[in-house]
Structure 1
Amino acid sequence: MSSYRSLFLLPLLLTLAACGPQTPSAASLERNTLMPLFFPGWASRDGQRIQPLQLEESSGRFDISPVQVTRLSDRRALMITAATEVDEHGEAVGGHDTPGLIGAYWLLRDGERWVADTRQDDAGRAGFFGEIGSTEVVKLAAGRFALAVEYSSCWQGECGGWLSLYELGEQRVRPLLDEPIAISALNSGAVPPPTDCDAILVREPGQTERLEEDEERRACYEVTGSWQIVPGHDAPGDLVLDFRSLNEDYHPQQDASSPTILVDSATRRSTQRMIYRYQGDRYVPRSGRNPVPSF
């Protein structure tokens, strides 16, 4: 009797298993198809990107978008998201000094499909006005990758740009820098008209021009930087930054008897290189200096 019962129950159990709930999965690593694995109901349309997040020290509603998907190995992948906290009307909260939220979500290959594995909702903060800026995945060494985040902003006419780096680990995302690196700056908006910083900084260097101006002002400057990581074999390679600086040598000559001032102005061009080296678990300055002014 027991053998007949087993023969009867086996097809029934198989049928129930087939009808049971299946683990949500995606056939590809297309970012918009991966998001619902971690955020049910998410869609790329306005309004449906807004999802609740329970962070370590707070909770809120965030407008979340996927920005990068990287294969870490044959069986693991990582999706990076950018999130902006919003109010009940879907409007961004916070101000100039409010960074955006970086999220990290790991996927595991199951046969021919991808399933959600682990998550790190608060993997880092970067940017201004709740926006993290632009992102890029770069190679550190064989099988090791980093997320580079560049962002910029202006304050009272001075503008700057910064770089943050995060290692994309198999289980966790972590910062590679003690603090963001300044990679660009200019102050043309902080120098009042009629002075034209753009015209001053494109002059041929080595020539002094005498200007008559109404009042003393700040000298013009513009620094632009580029960077690259030279991939290493086992350990991450050097982070190399190259800067091009345009500076005005500004020498006002005040004459009490004159309502205006005479200015000797010349343009100076220079290039600088700064190298960061990977030590311990992060990048530290190795040589050179950063010419970007602070403001």
Structure 2
Amino acid sequence: MKPSGKFEVHCALIATSLLMAGCQKSEVRYSETLDRNALMALPFPGWTPTGSDKVQAVLLPVKTVAPDKAFSATTQAEVSPLYVVKLDDTHAALVTQARPVDENNRPYDSHASSGTMGAYFFEHSAAGWRMATRQDAVATSGVEGHLGKTSITKLGEGHFAVTAQWGSCRQSICGKWLLVVGLQGNQATLLNPGIALSVNNYGANGACSALDNPALATAEEESKECLDIQSKWKFQGNRLLVSYEGRLSQLDDNAELLPTRKIREQAIYKATPGKLRLISGSVPVPDF
């Protein structure tokens, strides 16, 4: 028996409804747990922890000669999970590192290549963990494609800090810096792009060695600057304490060597949502 026109229309509507329901179900994706690999599949369908599937399309900043003309572009990068942070009972964050790759999916590892920190935020419901917001590029730091040495610290209820410590040398002067990113709610905020932690120019001109062994120093070494500062840092609650020790022997505006200054100082920062403010002391590390 040939179905009536009304029956055909009814069947077509049912089929369309089922198809739409199937499409909607595929678009809403959940993870039952906060396992990092399971969460990675939400912003990056098809991602796996090994092989070429680690390479994903992300929106990363593009370096330009003019800083005011900087922009972001979709970039192929190797993306790796660093931390899963449970902010409260219903909110969590996934922190990642992205390393741009070449045409052979190999991460760029030159001294000028930095790593990029990303953050992806999730909310929990009866269906599981669902991605709420994504930030492919929160901050960049490091050299040779890596962010540096990273860590996570709880600052307060629902408020965490992700840090990346990295170092670099330029014309025989070496330094270290600390990048701080805050996590709260559904947002990651760059709190400080780089607190100077240390400097030394032992490999530059022999001036510091001359201070250590004045009897063996040459006149040229004695006339040069010695930059020699190290530090230790730690969080105490929502405060970041950076303790500096060392010495500075610098030239004045007339290229005359000033008396060597001993360094023993502490800089204290207070972290509040969206801000990291210096509340005491100073950073004695000179720019270079």
**Partner of 1:284 in structure 2?**
277
**Partner of 2:203 in structure 1?**
189
Deviations 1:265-293 (A, max 9, x none): x9975421112235784223222221223
Three-state SS of the structure 1 residue aligned to 2:49 is: coil
Deviations 1:191-249 (A, max 9, x none): 46xx994xx78x6xxxx731154853745443221222322xxxxx3322111214579
**Structure 1 Cα separation of the partners of residues 196 and 94 of structure 2:** 26
**Partner of 1:242 in structure 2?**
243
**Partner of 2:232 in structure 1?**
226
2:215 to 210, 234, 245: 210
Three-state SS of the structure 1 residue aligned to 2:130 is: strand
Q: Aligned letter for 1:182?
A: A
**Structure 2 Cα separation of the partners of residues 182 and 143 of structure 1:** 27
Give the direction of change, closer, same or farther, for the CA distance of 1:113–1:93 in structure 2 (3 Å limit): same
Deviations 1:92-126 (A, max 9, x none): 34854443211111122234843333211122222
Three-state SS of the structure 2 residue aligned to 1:72 is: strand
Aligned 1:1-295 pairs, distance under 5 A? 20=22, 21=25, 23-55=28-60, 57-93=72-108, 95-111=110-126, 113-177=128-192, 179-191=193-205, 197=209, 209-213=214-218, 215-216=220-221, 218-231=224-237, 237-246=238-247, 270-278=263-271, 281-295=274-288
Give the direction of change, closer, same or farther, for the CA distance of 1:172–1:281 in structure 2 (3 Å limit): closer
The percent identity for this pair of structures is: 30
TM, length-normalised to structure 2: 0.73
Quote how far apart the aligned CAs of 1:73 are.
Answer: 0.8
Three-state SS of the structure 2 residue aligned to 1:188 is: coil
Can you give the 5+ residue segments of structure 1 that lack an aligned partner in the other structure? 1-8, 232-236, 251-265
**Structure 2 Cα separation of the partners of residues 169 and 40 of structure 1:** 25
**Structure 1 Cα separation of the partners of residues 96 and 49 of structure 2:** 13
Aligned length: 253
**Structure 2 Cα separation of the partners of residues 132 and 67 of structure 1:** 11
Three-state SS of the structure 2 residue aligned to 1:180 is: strand
Give the direction of change, closer, same or farther, for the CA distance of 1:116–1:284 in structure 2 (3 Å limit): closer
Three-state SS of the structure 1 residue aligned to 2:161 is: strand
Three-state SS of the structure 2 residue aligned to 1:47 is: helix
Deviations 1:55-114 (A, max 9, x none): 562111011111111001101110011111112112334854443211111122234843
Give the direction of change, closer, same or farther, for the CA distance of 1:95–1:27 in structure 2 (3 Å limit): same
RMSD of aligned Cα (Å): 3.5
**Structure 2 Cα separation of the partners of residues 281 and 52 of structure 1:** 28
Three-state SS of the structure 2 residue aligned to 1:34 is: helix
Give the direction of change, closer, same or farther, for the CA distance of 1:80–1:212 in structure 2 (3 Å limit): closer
Give the direction of change, closer, same or farther, for the CA distance of 1:267–1:142 in structure 2 (3 Å limit): same
Give the direction of change, closer, same or farther, for the CA distance of 1:104–1:279 in structure 2 (3 Å limit): closer
**Partner of 1:3 in structure 2?**
none
Deviations 1:125-160 (A, max 9, x none): 222343211222212223211211211111222211
**Structure 2 Cα separation of the partners of residues 222 and 215 of structure 1:** 18
Q: Aligned letter for 1:161?
A: K
Q: Aligned letter for 2:278?
A: P
Q: Aligned letter for 2:34?
A: L
Q: Which structure: greater helix fraction?
A: 2
**Structure 2 Cα separation of the partners of residues 106 and 280 of structure 1:** 16
Give the direction of change, closer, same or farther, for the CA distance of 1:24–1:83 in structure 2 (3 Å limit): same
Give the direction of change, closer, same or farther, for the CA distance of 1:40–1:99 in structure 2 (3 Å limit): same
Give the direction of change, closer, same or farther, for the CA distance of 1:54–1:288 in structure 2 (3 Å limit): closer
Quote how far apart the aligned CAs of 1:190 are.
Answer: 2.1
Structure 1 window deviating more from structure 2 (75-84 vs 142-151): it is 142-151
Q: Aligned letter for 1:225?
A: S
- 2:30–2:127 CA contact under 8 A, matched in 1: no
Three-state SS of the structure 2 residue aligned to 1:146 is: strand
TM, length-normalised to structure 1: 0.72
